[in-house]
Amino acid sequence: MALGLIACSLSLQAAPQSVVYQQPSKAVRELLDAPALPKHLISPDKHTLALLEPRRFSSLAELARPTRKLAGLRFDEATGQPSQTSAIQSLRLRPLLNPQAPERIVELGAANAADGGYFHSFSWAPDGQRFLLERRGAQSNELWVGDSASGQLRRVPGLKLNNVLSQGELAWLSPQELVLLAVPDKRGKAPQEPKVPNAPVVRESSGRASPERTYADLLNSPYDEALLEHYALSQLTRVHLQSLQSKKLGAPALFFSVASIGDEDTLLTERITRPFSYSLTWDDFPQVVEVRRADGSVLREIARLPLKRGVAINGVLPGPRLFFASPNRDGAVFWVEALDGGNPATRAPHRDRLMRLDPPYTGEAQELLRIPNRFSGMRFLDDGQQALLSEEDPLRAWTRSYLLMLRGGSVSTLFEHALRERYRHPGTPLIRTDPQRGRALAQTQGGALLMLGQGASPKGDRPFLDRLSLRDGSSQRLFQSSDKLFEQPLDLLPGNQLLTLHESINSAPSLHLQVLGSNAVATPAAARSVALTQAPNSPPLLRKIRRELVHFKRDDGVEMSFWMYLPPDYKDGEARPTLVWAYPLEFNDAALAGQVSGSPNRFPNFSGISPVLLALEGYVVLNDATMPIVGDAKTVNDEFVEQITLSARAIIEKAEELGVTDPKRVAIGGHSYGAFMAVNLLAHTDLFKVGIARSGAYNRTLTPFGFQSERRSLWEARDTYLKLSPFLYANQIKEPLLLIHGETDNRSGTPALQSERLYQAMVGTGGTVRYVLLPLEAHGYNARESAGHVQWEMRQWLRHYLGEPKPAAR
């Protein structure tokens, strides 16, 4: 395959133009090549801090490695590692609470230099004494064990990890021992594709409705089925971290999950079986769930799940699903069963029930609890007696969390809120890793959960730490970030020492420690904060971009907002060409639609394809402009076009009122569902002069069984599907449109075909359009060359059709 770009533009013959990767401006290139911000990873024993720098971009050579695309999966042909795994650039270790101690650099380069591989997937052992790294080599995915005290790495010899289905699944038996999925020793070579087909591919349905969403990379032939069985076949393998010895457990199978149960070396495994499907992804194939002994032999089969066909849109299987292995000494296995046949349209007093099976796993499972709405999650507390159980009501867009007694099944409501609630969101329970019980919700001595929240408000996010009583549900605020910076609590150490991640508009995130008072709420102004790490330097030009959160209302009274980014050379009162970048969201409550996301005090950190970088080119950028779609959950999309039109008009009017925008030179843009929104605005309004649409879907007849939050099928809401297909209104798109798409986009509903067909429609109806197809890229764009070229394309498009980013003449 040629790695050059293909760009299609309207000319006399509308012929493809072979071009090379273009470079953005020097200022943007400098930002793209700056190191990624380090991640702060704290060991479970709170003794060691790992500073991990991710690699910012993949190389085109990495993206070009042979890839298998099977049953909704994409993975490296040679190693089985999922495609576009994030690589680790560097890794440093140091004592957590001693900032003066020298750092220990973990040597990664020597192993990578040998075969061009990379390390990825860092994780701590449960006791924090060791850590694990995986490495994608030339022919296998390896496991390396690191010593936290010295930083020394050792490879587990002879072990080849199989992440085709598991994607790094680990079952810790103790801090020194774990079970994982490996490539079988005698797997052999992959099946060879027949040179000549020996039979047609036949699909048949016998009258049973089975609405399926539109998926990419599905199986298409018996050969594909054979390939999936070959690559996904895994061997349960027990690994000792001290000796680096590994031991095979039982026979290989198509495992995708393995978890330890209690403390008796018992395993809960899940695997897929035939028959496979050509219309479903692998996780909807038949599954077998089993309890296994320490040697890998089957102790009991828990359930056999059928192929997930004939299931209603947003429905579930009617039998057992969602299995949980208790980390507690009781060794119980939990799962969920539907009581409404799995169909959300069926009226039922209870949607689901929670089941429990205890050792020795020979008796009947016990019904522990019936749940009014659809089960959505279960997390164990560290006391071994309770769990936090959550349910969702999709029609109300509501969620409720219960405190569940694991013996007896008694429950009490702990908190509930709208799914899109931000201002009154109670936060998320703090999770800690126990050396024996693994990851569990941490309780304080007084029987309370520590809740970490973003603290959203009309003025922006102010993260908090609360103590939530499990006895009466009352909440006490222990910490909240000030409104002058952004400080995110991470964990509460003994002695009321709070670890936070501290950042500001001019300072990148760094780790801080402070002591909380016994009663009063602690803020950085009230408690002395000690820096444990130094913030990395930021590019000076980035700090010169001015940022402001702007509130306003649209004509129907719905609250809206956008983040306004002004160029470094901007002078007050200048009305400049402007780019509006947005992503629509659905709400059933207008009050929720107006809630603000983000903080003016956060350090600016943008992705390589962020539209905000166009501010460095002189344009005003209105980013994260809210585009709320408010209405009943079943029919909210019936007024999609009308509501995005209301929102777009309000955005332009507010920007003009502020004096920053020339209303005659405004562009609209978006990525994915935001691109869908942008093209609909161009097709149905004359508000914008030009558009940019990346990786979107423009023909809803190609997603006939739902999209985004749409629950109805094309045949139930034909008019809405057709109205929301800007492809059908291509002749109405009179504004110039830049289409960008990844060549191998595998997101449901957004194959590159969507942009290709819209391009062809606009060419055929006399539109002005440019179509850029990025080789090797999927839904997001990962290569350095791709990011730079996307920035160049957007800048050139705006300059050509909005003009130079100069103030409008008065």
Catalytic positions, please?
A: 672, 745, 779
Question: Which positions ≥6 away from 432 have C-beta within 8 Å?
Answer: 44, 382, 439, 440, 442, 491
**Dist. CA 500–CA 511, nearest whole Å:** 6
Burial of 4 (0-12, 13-18, 19+ CB in 10 A): exposed
What is the b/e burial string over 208-224, where b = at least 16 CB atoms within 10 angstroms of the residue's CB?
A: eeebbebbbbbbeeeeb
| Cα four-point dihedral sign 157, 163, 165, 166 | positive
Reduced to 3 states (helix: H, G, I; strand: E, B; else coil), residue 556 is coil
Say if strands 690-694 and 737-742 run parallel, antiparallel, or are unpaired. Answer: parallel
**Dist. CA 448–CA 383, nearest whole Å:** 11
Q: Where are the beta strands (DSSP E) in 604-713?
A: 620-630, 661-671, 690-694
HSE of 541 in the Cβ direction (CA atoms, 13 Å)?
18
What is the b/e burial string over 258-270, where b = at least 16 CB atoms within 10 angstroms of the residue's CB?
A: bbbbbeebbbbbb
Structure tokens at 420: 């899109």
Termini Cα distance of the chain: 52
Q: Which of 694, 693, 701 is nearest to 727 (CA)?
A: 701
- Contact call for residues 344 and 394 (beta carbons, < 8 A): yes
Q: Which of 392, 415, 423 is nearest to 633 (CA)?
A: 392
- Contact call for residues 281 and 214 (beta carbons, < 8 A): no
| Residue 684, CA distances (Å) to 264, 639, 655, 687, 726 in order | 64, 13, 21, 9, 8
DSSP string, 255-311: EEEEEEETTTTEEEEEEE-SPP-SSS-GGGS-EEEEEE-TTS-EEEEEEEEPP--SP
Helices 673-684 and 640-658 pack at an angle, to 10 degrees, of 90
